[in-house]
Each structure stands twice: as structure tokens, then as C-alpha cells.
Structure 1
Amino acid sequence: MVVGSFLNVVVWRVPRGESVVRPPSACPTCRARIVWYDNVPVVSWLVLRGRCRRCAARISVRYPVVELVTGLLFVGTALVVGWTLALPAFLYLVSISVALAAIDVDVHRLPDAIVLPSYAVAGVLLVLASWTPGEGVDTDALVRAAAGSGALFLLYLVLALIHPRGMGLGDLKLSGVLGLYLGWVGWGALAVGAFAAFLLGGLYGVVLMVAGRAGRKTQVPFGPWMLLGAVLGVVVGEPLAAWYIRIAV
């Protein structure tokens, strides 16, 4: 939840081109600096009843929601991945997923300041995840990661060239990062993760149109569905792909 508290800062400041380090957190209404005891994840928001201590301005419920969701996702990631060298890599994926999803919903952008450095960070963490003491590095997993990144990037590039209005550059850049993770897990994870993004995004678009909240030309943020699809690919991609192959053969 502490990480989630920091992600709230990232979500607010990065799209505005501001530093996530300085100045210290302050109320956006009265600019009063937030003291440490008013910055305890979830608890402070509940104690203050969702208002600034100084000016009583409302504090969005999204702040404690992001903190709580991040904490739960960290616990879930530890349960799925286990206490292995792969855990830091996937905790990082969870962190950028929460931040990017919230930013894309807010401003329909996936900032380069988060996406581009993630290639290097994810690469280093996945190399660490591929290392087993006494056995060395699993080069097959790293080759799959590189191939997965290239394959997913190429897929999104083709889609962007065919239909530029339907695929943003941010989505294209993010695809390579997600391909790293999905490829590292396995080919089944890559296939399921890629397909799930379009399936979920398409279903969401249909729901919006049926509800009268969107038309055929309405721009819908696709980043959250890419990220959710990747999560499904990591968690259930391999067993789901194996099941499909069994029934198909």
C-alpha cells in the first residue's frame, strides 16, 4: 500500500511533466504540505473522512482505492509467483500496470517516462528471474522474452499501420514491454495475453455502445485492457493454452 501511495503521486504528476520526488506532497486546493500522519495509506483517508485537514477540500476516493488495490495485487503476485527471484520482476509489472492504467483512463496517454525505461528495468529483472543458483541462467526463457517482445510489438505495429486512429503510439510502445513478460512465461502466456487484450477491450466497447455511452468512433483507452490481458496471460495463459491444444488435437 505504501507503493500504491507513491503510484498516486506518479499518476498525478507524470502526465503533467512534474517531478515525482519534489516538492513534497501537498493539497492541490490549499497547497498545504501533507504531514506524515496524514499520509498513511488508506488509514489517513478514513480518519480524515476524505477531506484535507487544512481546507476541508474533498480528497478523491481513488487515492485509497489505488493504495488498497496495489497492496492486494502485491499479495496476489506473491501467491502466484512465489518467493522466487522472479517476484521483483512481476511486482514491478504490477506497479507500472496500476500507474499506466490510471493515467490512460485520465488522459488517454501512456507516458514515455514510464514505458520506455521499463524495457531496461524489466530486462534486468527478468535476467535475475532467469538465474537459478548452482544452475546458471535459463537462456531459453530470455530468448522467449526477447522473441515475445518483438512479436507483440510487430503485431501492434501492423495494426497501427492498418488503422492508425485505432492504435496509439503509447499502446505500441507498451506492447514490447508486455511481450517481454509474456514471452518469458511461455508461448501459451504470450498467445493468451495478446488475445485477451483485444477480447476484453472489444467486449468493453460493445457494452459502452449498448449502454449508449459510446459510438463506433468513440476513442476508448486500450492500455488498461492490454495490461489486464497480460495479467491473465501470466496467471492462466500456460494451462489455458495447454488445455486448448489437448481438446483441439
Structure 2
Amino acid sequence: MTIHTTPAGTPLPDALTAEEVEIIPDVDEPWLPSVLNLETGLPTAAVAAGTAMLGFWVNAGRGPLVAGMISLLTAALVFLAVIDWKTHRLPNAIVLPMYPAFGLAVAVGAVTGSITVTAALTAAISMAAAFAVLWLVAFFTGGLGFGDVKLGGVLGLVCGLESGYAAALGALLLPMMLGGLVALPLMFAGRRKQEFAFGPYMVAGALLILLLPGVIEPISRGSLF
């Protein structure tokens, strides 16, 4: 972040109080002020912590490695949803490190036996497939940002640990359905060109899969009961 002040050694004008010193985000990180404040940051952190604990608890039966991955991801997703809602950005500083972190965790799990080789391969394929599908949508329609594409790959990877179908639901189908519920009314209202953040709908779709393992997938197949 960049703090605009007077040159070194020059006192602030009498009319300029400490509260009036302007803090302007750097070009690369304009999303930071959206969460670095008490009004937004504290509630977001509280929800993220609660979501992380819930994610670990409901997935504990899948082993501590998978439960820990889901716990960390769900917490990050809460922050990403808020940031995207406020700034229409999904920061690389948060999304990109997830690829090596979760990829390494999946590889370690496959080697140690805490994740089956089949599940690890499914997760890797789901990551590539989700990224590719969203990239094509973004490239040919312009309806998505490339931040959405990068987040989609992460969602495909982690949701894919449950199954390829769960990955398709969490990274593609549910976000598009939820986003469509908002986009269609805007179109009918004559606001076709109005931008809206797709990230929160991606987060919502993924959380349904990650926080309700073995529930949403059977419901969608019509085989819960």
C-alpha cells in the first residue's frame, strides 16, 4: 500500500489532521482496503474461522489431510467472496499459491496412502478440466474474468478429491446456476452490460460441495433417498 504524505522532514499542514492522511492502495493490490478495516475485516474473519472449523469437522472422516485442506480452502473462499464482491477482483496473491500448496498436499497424500491414487488423479484431472472449461468460456464470451478461471482450477482440484462429478458441480455447474439466478433478472431488466462479481457464486457452489460432502451430489443425481 502507498501512504501519501509530505516530503521527509516537512510537517503536515495545520489543516491536515492524522485522520485526513490519504491511504491509497497500490496498483497491484487494490483489494487490500476492502478487508483491512474493522467494519468488513472482523465479520469476514469470524465467518471464515467458523467455516474452517465446520469444514474440518464435517470432513474429519476423510482423514486429517483432506479435512485440513478443505478447512483452509473454505476459510480462504470466504475472504475471496468478500473481496470479489467489493472490488471485482480475485487476487493472484491468494489464489495462485493454492495450486502448489494443495497440489503438494495431494501428492503427499497419495504417497503416504492418506489419499488414494485414484482420488489424487481424479483431483488433478478435475483441476485441469475446470480450468480449461472456464478459460474457454472467458476467452470466447468475455463473460468471466481470468481470476474466475484460476479459482475454478483450485475448486476443481479440491472438490475432485470427492469425485469428478462433485468437481463438476462445485467448480462449474452450481456456480453457473447460482450466477444465472442473478444474471437473468438483470438481462430482463435491460441491464445486460452491468458487471457483477462471479466469484461469490463460485464460492457458494464450492462450499455446498465441501461443507455437505455426500449430500449435494446424491441430491443432484436424485438418489439421496
User: What TM-score do you get using the length of structure 1 for normalisation?
Assistant: 0.66
Q: CA deviation at 1:206?
A: 4.1
What's the CA shift string for 1:53-106, capped at 9, x where partnerless? xxxxxx643232112212221221122112622222112202321221122122
Q: CA deviation at 1:112?
A: 1.3
Residues 162 and 169 (structure 1 numbering): CA distance in 2 closer, same or farther, change over 3 Å? Answer: same
**1:168 and 2:148 correspond:** no
Matches within 5 A, 1:14-33: 29=19
Which 10-residue stretch deviates more, 186-195 or 111-120?
186-195
8 Å Cα contact 1:86-1:128 kept in structure 2: no
8 Å Cα contact 2:52-2:72 kept in structure 1: no
What are the ranges of 5 or more consecutive residues in structure 1 without an aligned counterpart? Answer: 1-12, 17-27, 32-58
8 Å Cα contact 1:192-1:237 kept in structure 2: no
Q: CA deviation at 1:139?
A: 0.7
8 Å Cα contact 2:59-2:67 kept in structure 1: yes
8 Å Cα contact 2:107-2:120 kept in structure 1: yes
What are the ranges of 5 or more consecutive residues in structure 2 without an aligned counterpart? Answer: 3-17, 22-36
Matches within 5 A, 1:1-249: 29=19, 60-82=38-60, 84-130=64-110, 135=113, 137-164=115-142, 166-193=143-170, 194-206=172-184, 215-236=191-212, 238-245=214-221
Alignment root-mean-square deviation, CA: 2.8
User: What TM-score do you get using the length of structure 2 for normalisation?
Assistant: 0.73
Q: CA deviation at 1:107?
A: 1.6
Residues 136 and 161 (structure 1 numbering): CA distance in 2 closer, same or farther, change over 3 Å? Answer: closer
Taking every aligned residue pair, what percent have the same amino acid on both sides? 30
Q: CA deviation at 1:228?
A: 1.3
Q: CA deviation at 1:127?
A: 3.5
